[in-house]
Structure 1
């Protein structure tokens, strides 16, 4: 068992630079999803691959170092907050009416998502499904 943990740690260390690159590339979500799936498969088999793929794809949104600057941008835009009765979490689907979605400025490198503010929290949303893909911290 300890050999598997050591092997998984070594593989994750090797894949970490690929994950970092995926955040800055145009195909960040796809590359991040592939990297996360590969790492998850090694650690946890098929279920780990599924979880790793979802987590990696989410990272393809805003890189962690961009989040504070983007959050400040959203505050400056004075975007109204939508009051949502459910838990604000990745994967939650927002209602089809009553929520305004806004373009993410090009400087943040996020092309396929929109943003909105839900319960005073900025989130990235997939416009076709209205699914929250990232909570901006």
Structure 2
């Protein structure tokens, strides 16, 4: 009986480790977790340090909003998948191909 309980305990521990391992994902692309996008820290730092003028924009600046082509999106150095601009005094990270707002920085 003792060997049986030991075997069941060992099997439970082994399977729980597999379950935990499957929930860990490592990626370099933006990750959406509910309504938050997790970006490489270097992208945020770069965008926060750039001295550019704010562009006026009618409407709310929201994640998922597509900015018009009249809004200049600048590249993030070293990260081709990210662009940035300042709209209505708010810094935003943008998909440079689609002009879709990825994140609004506060």
| TM-score, normalised with respect to structure 1 | 0.50
Contact 2:47–2:84 (Cα < 8 Å) also in 1:
no
Cross-structure match for 1:125: 94
Cross-structure match for 1:135: 104
Cross-structure match for 2:61: 88
Segments of 4+ moved more than 3 angstroms:
none
Q: How many residues align?
A: 87
Cross-structure match for 1:73: 49
Unpaired runs of 5+ in structure 2?
Answer: 1-18
| TM-score, normalised with respect to structure 2 | 0.62
Deviation at 1:121, TM superposition (A): 1.3
Higher strand share: 2
- Match of 2:103, SS state, is strand
Aligned alpha-carbon RMSD (Å): 2.9
Greater length-normalized contact order (CA 8 Å, ≥ 6 residues apart): 2
Unpaired runs of 5+ in structure 1?
Answer: 1-10, 37-51
Cα–Cα, structure 1 residues 94 and 66, in superposed 2: closer, same or farther, change >3 Å?
Answer: closer
Deviation at 1:71, TM superposition (A): 4.5
The correspondence of residues 87-126 of structure 1 with structure 2, limited to 5 A, is 87-97=60-70, 99-106=71-78, 110-126=79-95
